[in-house]
Structure 1
Amino acid sequence: MNHDTPLSPLPLQHLADIQPRVLSTAQLREHGVSATDAGTHCRPGGPWQQLLPGVCLLHPGPPTSEERLHGALLYAGRPPAQRARTVPAQPTSGEPHAPYADAMITGLAALALHRFSSAPPLLSLDRIDILVPRTRRLRSAGFVRLVRGCALPTPQHLTGVPVAPVERALADAVAQLTEAGVVRRLLSEAVRGGHCEPPAVVRELANARLLTLPHVVDAVDSLLAEGRAIAEDRLYRLVAEHGLPDPLWNVDLRLPGGPHLGGVDAYWPQQSVAVELDTRAPRQGARQDDDALWSECARKREHLERLGITVVHITPRKLRDTAEQQAAVVRTALMASTDRDPAAYVVVLPR
Structure 2
Amino acid sequence: MPRKKNYDRAAVDALIARSDGVVKRADLVLLGVPDSTLTSLTGPRGRWQRILPGVVLTHRGNPTLLERRRAALTYAGPDSRLSGHHALDVWGALGRRVDVGREILVVVPHPRHRVSSGFCVVERSERGTGRAERGGLRVTGVARALGDACRRQDLSLDDVREVMSAVLAADRCTLRQLDAVIRHGPTQRSGHARVALEELGAATRSAAEGRAFRVVSRSGLPQPVWNEPVVVAGRWIGNADAYWPDLGVVLEIDSMTWHLGAQALRRTQAKARRYAEAGVILLSIAPADLLGDPTAFLDQLRRTLETAAAAKRSGR
Q: Quick one: structure 1 residues 145 and 225, their matched pair in 2 at CA, closer, same or farther if it must change by over 3 Å?
A: closer
| Cα separation, partners in 2 of 1:153 and 1:323, compared to 1, 3 Å | same
Pick the structure with greater CA Rg. 1
Quote the offset at 1:350 in angstroms: 2.8
SS of the residue corresponding to residue 215 of structure 1 reads: helix
In 2, are the aligned partners of 1:106 and 1:129 still within 8 Å (CA)? yes
Deviations 1:100-119 (A, max 9, x none): x2111001111111221153
Flag the 1:61–1:228 CA change in 2: closer, same or farther, 3 A: same
Q: Of 105, 110, 116, which residue of structure 2 is paired with 1:140? A: 116
Cα 1:30–1:174, aligned 2, differ >3 Å: closer, same or farther? same
Using the TM superposition, give the Cα deviation of residue 56 of structure 1 relative to its aligned residue in structure 2, in angstroms: 0.7
- Which residue of 170, 173, 181 maps to 2:146? 170
Secondary structure in structure 1 of the residue aligned to 2:244: helix
Contact 2:85 2:149 in 1 (8 A): yes
Matched residues in 1 for 2:124 and 2:179: separation? 19
Q: Does residue 42 of the first structure (1) align with residue 42 of the second (2)?
A: yes
Does residue 101 of structure 2 align to residue 108 of structure 1?
A: no
CA separation in 2, counterparts of 1:21 and 1:348?
60
Output the CA distance in 2 between the equivalents of 1:145 and 1:112. Answer: 17
Describe the superposition over 1:28-57 as per-residue Cα deviations: whole angstroms up to 9, x where unpaired.
123321333212211112111111111011
1:151 aligns with 2:127: yes
Pick closer, same or farther for the CA change 1:348–1:112 going to 2, 3 Å.
closer
**In structure 1, what is the equivalent of residue 161 of structure 2?**
184
Q: In the alignment, what sits opposite 2:235?
A: none
The 3-state SS of whatever aligns with 1:176 is coil
Distance in 2, matches of 1:10 and 1:313, equals: 63
Please say if 1:15 is aligned against 2:20. Answer: no
Q: How many residues are paired up?
A: 237
Q: Which blocks of at least 5 consecutive residues in structure 2 are unaligned?
A: 231-237, 249-292, 298-316
Match of 1:327 in 2: 244
One-letter amino acid of the counterpart of residue 275, structure 1:
V
How do 1:1-351 and structure 2 match up within 5 A? 9-11=7-9, 15=13, 18=17, 19-77=19-77, 101-115=78-92, 116-117=94-95, 118-121=97-100, 125-177=101-153, 178-210=155-187, 214-224=191-201, 228=205, 265=212, 274-275=215-216, 317-318=227-228, 327=244, 349-350=295-296
Q: What is the root-mean-square deviation of aligned Cα atoms in Å?
A: 4.1
**1:27: Cα distance to partner?**
1.7
Displacement of 1:275: 2.0
1:212, distance to aligned residue in structure 2 (A): 8.9
AA in 2 matched with 1:39: T
SS state at 1:350 partner: helix
How much does 1:309 deviate? Answer: 6.0
Q: Secondary structure at the match of 1:275?
A: helix
Q: Distance in 2 between matches of 1:329 and 1:211?
A: 48
Write the distance in 2 (CA, Å) between the matches of 1:324 and 1:348. Answer: 16
Are the counterparts in 1 of residues 83 and 145 from structure 2 also a CA contact under 8 Å? yes
Change (3 A) 1:142 1:21: same
Of 112-121 and 41-50, the range deviating more from structure 2: 112-121
CA distance in 2, matches of 1:323, 1:217: 25
Cα distance in 2, alignment partners of residues 180 and 107 from structure 1:
16
Distance 1:39 1:211 in 2: 40
Q: Is the 8 A contact 1:51 1:57 kept in 2?
A: yes
Give the CA deviation at 1:76: 0.5
C-alpha distance in 2 between matches for 1:56 and 1:166:
29
Q: Percent identity?
A: 25
Rounded to whole Å, the distance in 2 between the matches of 1:71 and 1:102 is 14
Q: Which amino acid aligns with 2:7?
A: P
- Which letter does structure 2 place at the counterpart of 1:120? D
Q: Aligned AA for 1:194?
A: D
Query: Once the 2 structures are TM-superposed, how far is the Cα of residue 174 of structure 1 from its aligned partner?
Result: 1.2
Structure 2 contact 109–129 (Cα < 8 Å) conserved: no
CA distance in 2, matches of 1:138, 1:223: 35
**2:239 & 2:114 partners in 1: Cα distance?**
43
The code of the aligned residue for 2:216 comes to: V
- Determine the C-alpha separation between the residues in 2 that align with 1:348 and 1:208: 33
CA displacement 1:279-317 (0-9 Å, x = unmatched) = xxxxxxxxxxxxxxxxxxxxxxxxxx6xx86896975x3
CA contact (8 A) 1:7 1:31 kept: no
How far apart are the structure 2 equivalents of 1:134 and 1:348?
Answer: 46
- Distance, in Å, in 2 between the alignment partners of 1:60 and 1:7 is 23
* Counterpart contact for 2:225–2:242, Cα < 8 Å: no
Do the aligned partners of 1:274 and 1:311 also contact (CA within 8 Å) in 2?
no
